[in-house]
Amino acid sequence: MRIATWNVNSITARLPRLLAWLESSGTDVLCVQETKCTEEQFPAEQLRELGYESAVNATGRWNGVALISRAGLTDIVRGLPEGPEYEGVTEPRAIAATCGPVRLWSVYVPNGREVGHDHYAYKLRWLEALRKAVADDAAGARPFAVLGDFNVAPTDEDVWDLSRFEGATHVTPAERAALAALREEGLADVMPRPLKYDRPYTYWDYRELGFPKNKGMRIDLVYGNAAFEGAVKDSYVDREERKGKGASDHAPVVVDLDV
């Protein structure tokens, strides 16, 4: 079973590439972030023509997450139970479903903007709500994973130049502690294996030739429980999909399971 996560940075802008990638990659379930559309605008029919069902949590121009599956979609949950609001709005940043033998969450963690900003505090509250939401599944016997754009680099090695992030979000002790708390619920960071690059980044800024110069970050993560991690046969970052005209600024992260 092939499962992937991909921040597409607008599913409308990326649709031709997304459809081609699904066909060529043989992916069974794709967790999508940053759809930037309403649920009505989501390309469910085009995906259905390829044999995929869709579950969507999206409300407009910003944010938005989805699960695209040809392995089934049941027990769908849209949004985090008791998830925090930002400026009075519950943002569409999480969706869960059972896809065949596995239970999955697709998540788009708030960016945080600046340390000390209200959005940074919101980010930490959101990560705590995520921890509580996944605790039971993480401790269960069924293969389970949380996949998505976490907007946190777990270690110093997950950014191209730590000095460029001094005093900035994505690398602060509080954010990394929130990820550690998530792992303590029984989840492990499923890294690309074997490492095909010294630093398997997943995101490169469009500016300053970020991708050609490999000025990247590893912020798109797969956190799986023991049953999920034990079934992993391979995992990789599909850097090819970051190349060329019309690419997202994120690359898909792919995990192959024997389930």
Query: Does the reported pTM lie above 0.95?
Result: yes
pLDDT one-digit tens code per residue, 27-55: 999 999 999 999 999 999 999 999 999 99
Helices (H), the chain: 11-25, 44-49, 118-138, 173-183, 226-231
Q: What is the CATH number of the domain that holds 245?
A: 3.60.10.10
Q: Which domain holds residue 56?
A: 2-257
Catalytic residue positions? 108, 149, 250
Give CA–CA dist 56/65, Å, rounded: 6
How many domains would you assign to the chain?
1
CA-based max dimension of the chain? 47
254 contacts 191 by C-beta, under 8 angstroms: no
* Share of the chain residues as helix, strand and coil, in percent rounded to the nearest 5: 30, 30, 45
What is the pLDDT confidence band of residue 199, given thresholds at 50, 70 and 90?
confident
Over residues 188-201, mean pLDDT = 86
Give CA–CA dist 146/138, Å, rounded: 9
pLDDT one-digit tens code per residue, 99-128: 999 999 999 999 999 999 999 999 999 999
What is the pLDDT confidence band of residue 61, given thresholds at 50, 70 and 90?
confident
What is the pLDDT confidence band of residue 197, given thresholds at 50, 70 and 90?
confident
What are the distances in angstroms from CA 175 to CA 59, 122, 219, 224? Answer: 26, 11, 12, 19
Nearest Cα to 241, choosing from 2, 11, 1, 24? 24
Q: Binding-site residues for Mg(2+), please?
A: 7, 34, 149, 151, 249-250
pLDDT at site 194: 78
Over residues 164-188, mean pLDDT = 97
